[in-house]
Structures are given as structure tokens and as C-alpha cells.
Amino acid sequence: MIDLIKKLPKAELHLHIEGSLEPELMFRLAKKNQVEIPYKSIEDVRNAYNFTNLQTFLDIYYAGANVLLTKEDFYDLTWEYILKCVEDNVIHTEIFFDPQTHTERGVPFEAVITGIKEALADAKEKYGITSCIIMCFLRHLSQAEAFETLEEALKFKNDIIGVGLDSSELGNPPSKFKEVFKKAKDEGFKLVAHAGEEADFSYIYEALDLLNINRIDHGVQSIKSPELMQRLKIEQMPLTVCPNSNIELKVFETYKEHNIKELLDYGLNISVNSDDPAYFKGYINQNFINLHENLPITEEDIITLVKNSFRSAFIDDELKEAYLAKVDLALQ
Ligand code: ADE
Ligand code: ZN
């Protein structure tokens, strides 16, 4: 099974580039940029990664992002993630970034997007990896601030395929961002939103009905509503599930309690993703391996999950078919 996991080409659809900041790079950039970080050693960092919920993670994650200042820093961050893609056989990736985390600190939007974009262009040239960039609004900030961010993003419209919604979910429902998502849709962006990660399934309904999203990030709380489950199945609405993340953030107490197998068996369109791999103990293959080691996941399930990742990607049908054919070839 582990051989199968490793050899299958995959797409990753839910990856926060700031969440791929490994402690080693954090230390290097802190030193270079003379930014203080609250850790003495790499071991110290790893010990701090002991979360009790989403917010305890976010506090540490935003503090870590403080070391990112220049275009080169964002290039290096993205390039290191690309090297993990090469290792894990990820051939297409759709990367989230949180511009507000950086513009709030005085880092220009342009430095962030250009650093990421140049690394992705090199990834295509050197490894043939295709990619898209999705800009997320921080939901703990206001809709007015999201509008300002969208305005800045319009200058880089050709580089950004979609917009998303992340950060502190509880108390910040999708309805708070209804108008800015409408504007983003009118501008031609694809739409995604974190919904039903920690908060209840009403957030998933809001994301579907008020934001008109094309994919749900996480969405694991949908299991509590039979009516929603049926709708998600009929619409084949993609759910980008992140198993390691859900365990590290205590959405499920143990891996054995994770509901991905139930969601999949019900017929939902589920993919596996790493979310913030530097913080959640592993990249995409490790997520698959943990599923295999803890749940009655079959080889057929793995193949379905991988094929779903390509079917749900923001790429044209021709490329989708070519990638699905690559999966079939790897299976022969
Ligand atoms: N930002 C980075 N990772 C996140 C997650 N899992 N949920 C919400 N916001 C995030
Ligand atoms: Zn996420």
C-alpha cells in the first residue's frame, strides 16, 4: 500500500504556503532579516507545535510568518515546498497564500506574489509541475479589509486563479464575506472557503448558498447533516480534506475517529491534502500513509482519492484527462 501511495502522481488542492515554513528555514530567515522568534532551537520549535484547537495553531503560525519579508523569502519558501512535491510525486498543486498576514506588516503584496510566482514558474520548467495560486482572506479581519485586498489582487489577476477564506472559523461565518465573494466572482475568480472545519455544518450551507463556492476546504462537519450529505453527493461538491491537520488541531481526538472513510463511502468527492505540513507532521504522502495505518482504507479508496484531486482541480478538461491517464499508467 505504501508503495502505491508513493508511486501515484497526485494533485494537492489545500496547502497554505505559509504553513510549509519548516523550522530550519524559519531560523535562517529570522537571522538574515533580524526578526526575533520565540525559540532557541529547532527542538524548541517542534515542542511548541502542540495544539489544542485551530486558534492555538494560528497564533504560532502567524508568529512564524513574521520572518518572511522579501520576494526572495517567498521564493525560497515556495521552492522548498516544491522540492517536497517532487519527493511525494505531486504533479499539480494549488497554493493558498494569505496576503493580509504580510501586508499588515508592511510587506508589499507584489513581493509576496512575485516570489511565489517565480518559484512556481521554475517548478514548471525544472520539474514539469503545474500550479495555481489562490488568495485567501483572513476571516478574523473585516469584509472592508478583504475588499481592499481584492482591489490589490486585481493588479495580479493573471497570477491568481481564485480566492478563499481562512483563519479563525468560529464566530466568523461565511455570511460576513458575502459581498466581497460576489465581487470576486464577478471579476472571474474561482471561489473556495474553509467551512465546517471546527464550526458546525451551518457554515457549509452558508459557504454554498451565500458565497457560491466551487470547493469546500475541510467540510468534515457535514457528516452531522444527512440532508447536506445528500446535497454534497448529488452536486459532487469537492471537499479538500486534511487528515493530519484535523488530528493535530483536535477536530478528531484520534486518527481512528477521523470520518474520511465514511465521507468517501457515502460517495462524496473527497481529496487528501496537507494544509500546513511543516506544522502538522508531514506532507501529502504522510497523510495518506497515516490514513492507511489507522483506518480501513483500501487500495481502491487511495486511487479514488487521488483521482478526485485531479477531477476537482482548477485546470482545463484536457489537462485533467492527461493527468488521470498518468494515474492509470502508474497503476499498470
Ligand atoms: N490557515 C492555515 N491553516 C488553516 C486552517 N487549517 N484553518 C483555517 N485557517 C488556516
Ligand atoms: Zn487550510
Out of 169, 197, 206, 248, which one is annotated catalytic?
197
Residue 327 is predicted with a pLDDT of 98
Does residue 193's CB lie within 6 angstroms of at least one atom of ligand 1?
no
Domain count, the chain: 1
Q: Which ligand is nearest to the CA of 15?
A: 2
Residue range 239-262: mean pLDDT, rounded = 98
Quick check: CB of 167 below 6 Å from ligand 1?
yes
Cell numbers standing for residue 138: 483572513
Q: Which residues pair with 73 in a beta bridge?
A: none
Q: What is the mean pLDDT of residues 295-320?
A: 98
Q: Which residue has its alpha carbon closest to ligand 1 atom 9?
A: 167
Alpha carbon of 318 to ligand 1 centroid (Å):
31
Best mutation site among 13, 17, 20, 58 for ligand 1 pocket (most ligand atoms within 8 Å of CB): 58
Task: Give the ligand at the shortest distance from the Cα of 246.
Answer: 1
C-alpha to C-alpha distance for 292 and 298, rounded to whole angstroms: 8
pLDDT given at position 292: 98
Look-up: residue for cell 535562517?
28
Q: Whose CA is nearest to atom 6 of ligand 1?
A: 275
Q: Which residues contact 315 (CB under 8 A, 6 or more apart)?
A: 92, 130, 132, 323
139 lines ligand 1 (CB under 6 A): no
Contact 292, 302 (CB under 8 A): yes
Ligand 2 mean position, distance from CA 165 (Å): 9
Ligand 2 centroid from CA 134, angstroms: 12
What integer pLDDT is reported at residue 311 of this predicted model? 98
Ligand 1 in reach of 166 Cβ (< 6 A): yes
What average pLDDT does range 39-67 have in this prediction?
95
Domain that holds residue 115: 2-331
Q: Is the CB of 54 under 6 A from ligand 1?
A: yes
Measured in degrees and rounded to the nearest 5, phi and psi for residue 215 equal -150, 150
The pTM of the whole model exceeds 0.85: yes
Residue 16 Cβ inside 6 Å of ligand 1? The answer reads yes
Query: Distance of alpha carbon 315 from its chain centroid, rounded?
Result: 17
Establish whether 197 is a catalytic residue: yes
Q: Which CATH number covers residue 323?
A: 3.20.20.140
Q: Are 75 and 102 in contact (CB under 8 A)?
A: no
> What local confidence, expressed as pLDDT, does residue 79 receive?
99
Question: Using one digit for the tens of pLDDT, what is the confidence trace for 172-190?
Answer: 999 999 999 999 999 999 9
pLDDT digits (tens, 9 = 90+) for 65-103: 999 999 999 999 999 999 999 999 999 999 999 999 999
What is the band of 266 on the pLDDT scale with cuts at 50, 70, 90? Answer: very high
Helix (H) or strand (E) holding 13: strand 10-16
Phi and psi, residue 238, nearest 5°:
-70, 135
Nearest-atom index, ligand 1, CA of 19: 2
Residue-averaged pLDDT of the chain: 98
pLDDT in tens, 133-175: 999 999 999 999 999 999 999 999 999 999 999 999 999 999 9
Sign of the Cα torsion 7, 311, 289, 19 reads: positive
